[in-house]
Structure 1
Amino acid sequence: MDIITDYQQKSDFAQNEADKYKQLANNYSLYRLGVFGLFILAVCIAVSLDQIVIVAISLILLIFWFSWLIKKQNKYETLKNYFIDLKKVTDNEIDSIKSCANMYDNGAMFNNDAHYYTSDIDIYGNYSLFKLINRSATFPGMVKLAAWLHKPATKEVILLRQQAVAEIAGKNDWKLDIQAHLLFSLKQQKEQIKNLLAYLKIPVKINGEKWLIVYCTLAPFILLATVITGVFYTKAFYFLPVLGLFNYRQSSSRSDIVDKTDLIAGRIGATLKHFVQAFKSIENEKWESVYLSGVSSQIKNINGDAISFRISQLSTLINKLNSRLNLVVDIIMNVLFVWNIRQIIAIEKWKLNNQESLETAFDVLAEFEAVISLASLHINYPEWTFPQIVDGAGYTLSGKNLAHPLINAGKRVANDYELNDTFKIDIITGSNMAGKSTFLRTIGINTVLALCGAPVCASEMQVSVITIITYMRIKDSLNESTSTFKAELDRLQMLLKAVETENKVFFLIDEMLRGTNSVDKYLGSKAVIEQLIKKKGVGMVATHDLQIAELEQSHPDYVRNFYFDIQIVNGEMLFDYKIKDGECKTFNASLLLKQIGIDVEA
């Protein structure tokens, strides 16, 4: 509740600031109207007094005053929008804690039924780990986070990420600030950054580029020299229309090049301003952790300039090119300064000098978004812990009060589990709905969190760097003409191959070979487990088949039995969802069938 109270205070502050700057922006809009009214009044006075000088002076004052008012109004509009976004990201954290809601992408696009574990333990999708933790607004940030969840990192990287996550968790105001700056990206096309980087790598060829570069530099001076000459030699003014027409012709004859540049880059001028603020947030913060200081150093002082300054330059150049959208301004600026070609040349020069640094910069931003996503868990759930990553020839996966992070804190049941530097296969038996599948997913999802550098939903956890492989939600496929049994065989083949080729595979199997008869199911399951024992496989097998539990007798040093049971009191089933040593003796299928009107005994 303390963190929710803190978020609520931040949300209220952001709302108050947004309202304040909205009012200021509205005031300056009225001021602009007032200034225009004063100009009309000055024109009326000038007409009545027959003083054209008053109109000229008023027009000059109007331009400067109006420009200043627009600048101030835009500043307040920007601040208003920032605080609106800050409130949104803050309220999102409250919603996430209370109901696991999240306005960021749930990562469904990354789901892959053929992956070792992502489908079976709810890594992506509407009710998933990705939805819980994702705070990446940019597509590269989401891709980076998905890559971290797709496979375990090395021990060294995990420890470095843990330090980075802890550091950002201690800078929650900074975290919310950069999220607010990047929130706009949620509404952008997923390929916006990819398209920008691709555009930077493609040079634009301009006909007569070499002499145009020289002429565009000299054009303003030629214009000024003509005007000054005209003051002393009136006939020089006759050259001005010819010069203006020539300048305009240079731009209009190359309009296809201008249109092509504007099509790709013209829409991102304002977008880049948001990225400038995000990069400034990273550059201006002092980072203590090795991971973040190393990553952030890649965008600080590249060739003497911070990346935020360079992106700001590009944003300014693109916005200057965008002035062509106003027909009157477009004509005037091209007549006087060959404006469009001047900006195209400047943009191409910027691209030549900065394309590599910009690609690096957006990769750095993606790294920060991924770390920020993991840090949200550490901030919102301070009772969670960072796991200890251990070495050893055997497998370690132990924890106290391990619980499923996607189950509401008031409803989830925690369990202890211990596997310390050894090789074991655990058979888990139990009644329907007693908690076997949820326990397997609890082990799997917390291990994925642990091995990407995040805190886990437990009070204590030790884990080796292992590769999780699951066998749970086996589905048939009409498109591929695959039956459930065939799909199960394919999954088993993948598991057996991975045990031989991957480093430290830990499998989670929930009810093996469901697509066949009970006899073949038992014999097949027994054969698979015995083959896994021969291959020194390690993992868990949940099953309703008590005969599988008898493998502990033939392999006492390798197989362990655990179970989940129920208590039946006055015909009612009571579940405690606690794992216990041994084989299950109480089952509930008959009672469940009886509750829907089917008497098994009859």
Structure 2
Amino acid sequence: MDNPMIQQYQQNILLAQEQVKLYEKKINFYSLMRLTAFALVLLSIYFSVKFESLGMFFACFIILAVVFNWLVSKQAWFTAQKEYYQHFEKVNENEINSIESYANLYDNGAAYYDERHYYTSDLDIFAGGSLFNLANRAATSHGRDKLASWLMSPAPKEVISERQDAIREIGRKNDWKLDMQARLFFANTNNRDELKQFFTYLDTTLDLPGEKWLSKYIIIGPALFFILLVVAIFYPELKYGAIGMALINYFISSYRHEYTSKTDLIAGKIGDTLKRYSAVFNSIEGVHWQSRLNSALAGKIRKEKDKSTSATIKQLSVLINNLNARLNMMIGFVLNATLVWDIRFVIAIENWKRSNQHDLEAAFDVIAEYEALISLASLHVNCPGWCFAEIADGEHYTVTARNIAHPLIAADTRIENDYELNDSLNIDIITGSNMAGKSTFLRTIGINSVLALCGAPVCADEMEVSVITVITYMRIKDSLNESTSTFKAELDRLQMLLAAVETQPKVFFLIDEMLRGTNSVDKYLGSKAVIKQLISKKGVGMVATHDLQIAQLETEYPDYVRNFYFDIRIESGEMLFDYKLKHGECKTFNASLLLKRIGIDVDAV
């Protein structure tokens, strides 16, 4: 059945394409108007020289400069709107691609890959084809860090519940979610350390020499210049006083050039970026949130002392962009000569830092948390058949599910299963043939538990799970760099597991074919000894194995060990798998048949 969200995304793409064309026309028109304004500036210079009128020059220049600046501002706004709709189009295309092929424009989380983590490597949490790759909609490095941290450890029950409510609410506001993704998309390819450098800059004092008297001069100097300029209209001989005042103003700005450069080194490059973040903060502030978590997050950035975070960030963006006006050589000369421009805005930026630098990093952390919530809400929106897990309170372990499946397998091919571990202590032995589905089932339980315990929806009709610490033992391999054999790597993993069972709360282990790096006798004896030790430590989890002798532990520990299996049917020499979990021990294996297919007859040996 087609996903109902695809049609909505397609409509959004058409809307975005229309808006891009509209703003392209406006940008071209205002570009022509800018050229006209510039031509008029040159014309005013010509007539001012011809009539030897300094007053005419400054009057025309100021008027045309204001008009030119307005045209630049309007064109910049149109350009920003065009960019927004281009990003909106990409965001919606990405959602369609995610639904249809699990493709994603956002980072796949490879930087967080860690083979030594309790479960992220074995359960495909990070890197290509991973859960992070499926879910991630965080454009900022802070947002990716937040989402990764949620996927790497279970949250307390109260936090899980709050996140679930927040994700549901964001899912109901899908237009807002897509708007936020489009507004933040610029950061998807931006310098990863840009904000970190900015926060460092905020904590660094400029210590501008003579700042106290310069703060007074930026008012007095320009005032004297304009007074002399106006008087020179009536008394032309005073024009030299106005020229002298302009040169003094320019000299004072130039004299402190190194401090202007220090400010411009970091702040000058982030003005437009801050303007974009201001729009993001404004979008969060403008929503009436009902869920506890969303309301609390928005409350951190809403009006405090009559100034919201979006207005505060926008104010700094305006100050920085005004300072950047100096980069145009001609305009910069006139602004410094008349308004002591550079010093004026260096001081203004320093005053802003003193008043607003506190807790600004915490405000950006709100964006990061929303990006993590939006990422998980994308699963909720794009996978309407998924459910939110109930978090169990029982003394022992609960992991129950109805029609649970692996979220990274396409919906039309994945197989659903039921499983029940209801407030009890059990180790489940799962036997079965090669390729029958044992490993996939273990990963299905593991990856859905990770989703559930970070507050995300799970790929199941129903699920209930305790707050457990998942530990896996699956893809054990040697390491040439560390001179570690497969068997040594397995021993290290077992040691970690046994230690965790004693020290970590409610460890739920998933073991796939233990001790495969040794001979069959030691493998059986060692595996049996490990399971017995786990039972003695009240360990709970699943063990998948080909060794039917391990299943005999159910006889020895009937109240603790349970047997399950994945079956295979052979018809006319063909293997048929149903990938369905069943109670009991597996009786049919397929290794001999597989060997025969490649020309090895086991019966003839």
Q: Same fold (TM over 0.5)?
A: yes
Q: How has the CA–CA distance of structure 1 residues 198 and 32 changed in structure 2, closer, same or farther, with 3 Å as cutoff?
A: closer
Deviations 1:354-409 (A, max 9, x none): 11232121011111111101100110011100111110111000000000000000
Which shifted more, 408-417 or 476-485? 476-485
Q: How has the CA–CA distance of structure 1 residues 300 and 345 changed in structure 2, closer, same or farther, with 3 Å as cutoff?
A: same
Identical columns (%): 58
**Helix, strand or coil: the match of 2:30?**
helix
Partners of 1:251 and 1:52 in 2: how far apart? 22
| Other-structure match for 1:218 | 220
| Other-structure match for 2:14 | 12
Partners of 1:111 and 1:461 in 2: how far apart? 27
Q: How has the CA–CA distance of structure 1 residues 47 and 292 changed in structure 2, closer, same or farther, with 3 Å as cutoff?
A: closer
1:202-213 to 2 correspondences below 5 Å: 202-213=204-215
1:301-316 to 2 correspondences below 5 Å: 301-316=303-318
- The Cα shift of 1:250 comes to 2.5
| Other-structure match for 2:501 | 499
Q: How has the CA–CA distance of structure 1 residues 261 and 59 changed in structure 2, closer, same or farther, with 3 Å as cutoff?
A: closer
**Helix, strand or coil: the match of 1:601?**
helix
Tell me the amino acid that sits aligned with residue 2 of structure 1.
P
1:258-407 to 2 correspondences below 5 Å: 258-407=260-409
Q: How has the CA–CA distance of structure 1 residues 430 and 101 changed in structure 2, closer, same or farther, with 3 Å as cutoff?
A: same
Q: How has the CA–CA distance of structure 1 residues 517 and 338 changed in structure 2, closer, same or farther, with 3 Å as cutoff?
A: same
| 1:165–1:371 Cα contact (<8 Å) kept | yes
| 2:226–2:242 Cα contact (<8 Å) kept | no
Which shifted more, 433-442 or 590-599? 590-599
Partners of 2:13 and 2:338 in 1: how far apart? 50
- The Cα shift of 1:318 comes to 0.7
Partners of 2:230 and 2:250 in 1: how far apart? 21
Gaps of 5+ in 2: none
| 2:271–2:317 Cα contact (<8 Å) kept | yes
Q: How has the CA–CA distance of structure 1 residues 206 and 531 changed in structure 2, closer, same or farther, with 3 Å as cutoff?
A: same
| 1:302–1:357 Cα contact (<8 Å) kept | no
| 2:154–2:468 Cα contact (<8 Å) kept | yes
- Say which of 57, 75, 78 aligns to 1:76: 78
Count of aligned pairs between the two proteins: 602
Q: How has the CA–CA distance of structure 1 residues 267 and 91 changed in structure 2, closer, same or farther, with 3 Å as cutoff?
A: same
Q: Does 1:597 align with 2:587?
A: no
Partners of 1:53 and 1:552 in 2: how far apart? 101
| Other-structure match for 1:201 | 203
Q: Does 1:445 align with 2:447?
A: yes
Partners of 1:419 and 1:42 in 2: how far apart? 85
| 1:145–1:370 Cα contact (<8 Å) kept | yes
| Other-structure match for 1:556 | 558
Partners of 1:217 and 1:36 in 2: how far apart? 29
Q: How has the CA–CA distance of structure 1 residues 428 and 170 changed in structure 2, closer, same or farther, with 3 Å as cutoff?
A: same
Partners of 1:43 and 1:246 in 2: how far apart? 23
| Other-structure match for 1:155 | 157
Q: How has the CA–CA distance of structure 1 residues 220 and 38 changed in structure 2, closer, same or farther, with 3 Å as cutoff?
A: closer
| Other-structure match for 1:478 | 480
| 1:429–1:546 Cα contact (<8 Å) kept | yes
Which shifted more, 175-184 or 32-41? 32-41
Q: How has the CA–CA distance of structure 1 residues 44 and 296 changed in structure 2, closer, same or farther, with 3 Å as cutoff?
A: closer
| Other-structure match for 2:29 | 27
Partners of 1:396 and 1:540 in 2: how far apart? 13
| Other-structure match for 1:227 | 229
Q: How has the CA–CA distance of structure 1 residues 430 and 293 changed in structure 2, closer, same or farther, with 3 Å as cutoff?
A: same
Q: How has the CA–CA distance of structure 1 residues 333 and 502 changed in structure 2, closer, same or farther, with 3 Å as cutoff?
A: same
- Say which of 245, 249, 261 aligns to 1:247: 249
| 2:399–2:422 Cα contact (<8 Å) kept | yes
| Other-structure match for 2:458 | 456
| Other-structure match for 2:91 | 89
Q: How has the CA–CA distance of structure 1 residues 351 and 59 changed in structure 2, closer, same or farther, with 3 Å as cutoff?
A: closer
Partners of 2:463 and 2:400 in 1: how far apart? 6
| Other-structure match for 2:427 | 425
Q: How has the CA–CA distance of structure 1 residues 52 and 287 changed in structure 2, closer, same or farther, with 3 Å as cutoff?
A: closer
Partners of 1:228 and 1:47 in 2: how far apart? 18
Gaps of 5+ in 1: none
| 1:317–1:347 Cα contact (<8 Å) kept | yes
- The Cα shift of 1:158 comes to 0.4
| 2:472–2:509 Cα contact (<8 Å) kept | yes
| 2:122–2:474 Cα contact (<8 Å) kept | yes
- The Cα shift of 1:291 comes to 0.7
- The Cα shift of 1:345 comes to 1.0
Q: How has the CA–CA distance of structure 1 residues 466 and 5 changed in structure 2, closer, same or farther, with 3 Å as cutoff?
A: same
| 1:219–1:337 Cα contact (<8 Å) kept | yes
Tell me the amino acid that sits aligned with residue 20 of structure 1.
L
Deviations 1:178-237 (A, max 9, x none): 110000001211111111111111111112222222222322222223335555666654
| Other-structure match for 1:538 | 540
- The Cα shift of 1:11 comes to 1.2
- Say which of 465, 468, 471 aligns to 2:467: 465
Partners of 2:396 and 2:337 in 1: how far apart? 77
* RMSD between superposed Cα atoms in Å: 2.5
| Other-structure match for 2:180 | 178
Which shifted more, 575-584 or 211-220? 211-220
Q: How has the CA–CA distance of structure 1 residues 45 and 207 changed in structure 2, closer, same or farther, with 3 Å as cutoff?
A: closer
- The Cα shift of 1:137 comes to 0.4
- Say which of 170, 178, 181 aligns to 1:168: 170
Tell me the amino acid that sits aligned with residue 21 of structure 2.
D
